[in-house]
Amino acid sequence: MIRAGIVGGTGYTGVELLRLLARHPQVELAAITSRKEAGMPVAEMFPSLRGHIDLAFSDPQQAGLDRCDVVFFATPNGIAMQQARELLAAGVRVIDLAADFRIRDLAVWQHWYGMEHACPELVAEAVYGLSEVNREQIRSARLVANPGCYPTVVQLGFLPLLEAGVADTGMLVADCKSGVSGAGRKTELPYLFAEASDNFKAYGASGHRHLPEIAQGLGRIVGKPVDLTFVPHLTPLIRGMHATLYMRVDRSVDVQALFEQRYVGEPFVDVMPPGSHPETRSVRGANTCRISWHRPQDGETVVVLAVIDNLVKGAAGQAVQNMNLMFGYAETLALEAPGLLP
């Protein structure tokens, strides 16, 4: 049994962590902080948790986070980097669901996130929490940088073919579609129901913060920079993220075999039979990444289709998966529920 704390529990990744941890047999929820909502019962803000979580939000200063075994940061970018050092010093292990420790190159990070990094020495120590890539390092990590949602689904989709060296990295395209919860519980105009419903659009087509994170991950695999075009779109789903990936792969390559071999034994990556089209709803509320691929007109272009729930495998679920690894629990503990379909 470990004690877990959550910093910033009022957003969607926060409430999703609460939903998952409330049912985790080895976790005692010790504290959930929110400066603004201190004193308010969590279940008053999120009635779905009535009867499941009795905690109230507490002020970060008085939450006793340093007495936790693990602290999750479900905060905006730039918060975890200010508090991680102190927590680690107190022996607390840290999982940051934001972007503070995802990018190795500080200059790149500072360019895309528009702030000075408060804690550069920890960037080097942090383990990038894509469990399917860094499982062993995560087990012993003090500080895990939980991947972004787009980077999770895009990397899992490209991995087998890039690792096998069969894809032409000179023109990779990642056309991605996200549900609206990916924007967070933020009261901004584009995310209003009357704006986002019955509407589809691209955004950030000229450049999006998740690009350098994806490029870093893919670049490490192939050992050199990749030429990646990444266009995110907003689609009227609450949850769900779909990546459609395009790349050149020689016709002789047995793509299905590469996918199956790469992900054999992975509890949260499901390679579908040839000809499949994964649906986002099939992973709604689940920690699964479901993948298939196509070779249209039997040509040189391979299309990979991959889906996740942006709040689960793309955020809170992957964080719990990492926590399970870090504390020696079964990797799937509290993450076994199938998707909610319909």
* Sites for its own copies among residues 193-252 (CB under 8 A): 193-203, 205-207, 211, 227, 229-231, 233, 235-240, 242, 244, 246, 248
Residue 175 binds its own copies, judged by CB under 8 A = yes
Q: In the numeric block, which tokens belong to residue 144?
A: 């895990």
Closest CB to its own copies among residues 163, 168: 168
**Choice from 65, 79, 164, 305 touching its own copies (CB under 8 A):** 305
| Binding track, positions 46-85, relative to its own copies; x by CB under 8 A | xxxxxxx---------------------------------
Report the amino acid identity of residue 124: A
C-alpha 217/C-alpha 68 separation (Å) is 31
Among residues 68, 149, 176, 289, the one annotated as catalytic is 149
Distance in Å, CB of 238 to its own copies, minimum: 5
Q: Determine contact, residues 287/339, Cβ cutoff 8 Å.
A: no
Q: For residue 149, indicate whether it is catalytic.
A: yes
The sign of the CA dihedral 7, 212, 116, 69 is positive
Q: Determine contact, residues 302/294, Cβ cutoff 8 Å.
A: yes
Closest by CA position to 333, among listed 16, 54, 21, 78: 21
Closest CB to its own copies among residues 3, 294: 294
Which listed range, 133-141, 157-165, 288-296, 319-327, lies at the site for its own copies (CB under 8 A)?
A: 288-296
C-alpha 18/C-alpha 236 separation (Å) is 24
| List of residues 6+ apart from 114 with CB closer than 8 A | none
Distance in Å, CB of 182 to its own copies, minimum: 9
Which listed range, 69-77, 100-108, 120-128, 286-294, lies at the site for its own copies (CB under 8 A)?
A: 286-294
**Choice from 38, 294, 327, 333 touching its own copies (CB under 8 A):** 294
Residue 28 binds its own copies, judged by CB under 8 A = no
- The sheet that has 27-33: what strands, in order across it? 27-33, 2-7, 70-73, 93-96, 143-145, 127-128
Report the amino acid identity of residue 25: P
Greatest C-alpha distance within the chain: 62
Interstrand relation of 241-249 and 228-234 (parallel, antiparallel or unpaired): unpaired
Q: Determine contact, residues 32/335, Cβ cutoff 8 Å.
A: no
**Is-cis flag, bond preceding 342, omega within 30?**
yes
Q: Determine contact, residues 244/155, Cβ cutoff 8 Å.
A: no
Q: In the numeric block, which tokens belong to residue 67?
A: 């007495």
First to last CA, the chain: 34
Distance in Å, CB of 86 to its own copies, minimum: 32
| Binding track, positions 125-164, relative to its own copies; x by CB under 8 A | ----------------------------------------
**Choice from 117, 262, 284, 313 touching its own copies (CB under 8 A):** 284
Residue 189 binds its own copies, judged by CB under 8 A = yes
In the block, tokens 């709040």 appear at 311
Which listed range, 118-126, 141-149, 291-299, 315-323, lies at the site for its own copies (CB under 8 A)?
A: 291-299
* Sites for its own copies among residues 101-120 (CB under 8 A): none
Which listed range, 44-52, 93-101, 137-145, 149-157, lies at the site for its own copies (CB under 8 A)?
A: 44-52
# chain residues binding its own copies, by CB under 8 A: 90
Closest CB to its own copies among residues 217, 240: 240
Distance in Å, CB of 151 to its own copies, minimum: 16
Residue 257 binds its own copies, judged by CB under 8 A = no
List residues with catalytic annotation.
149
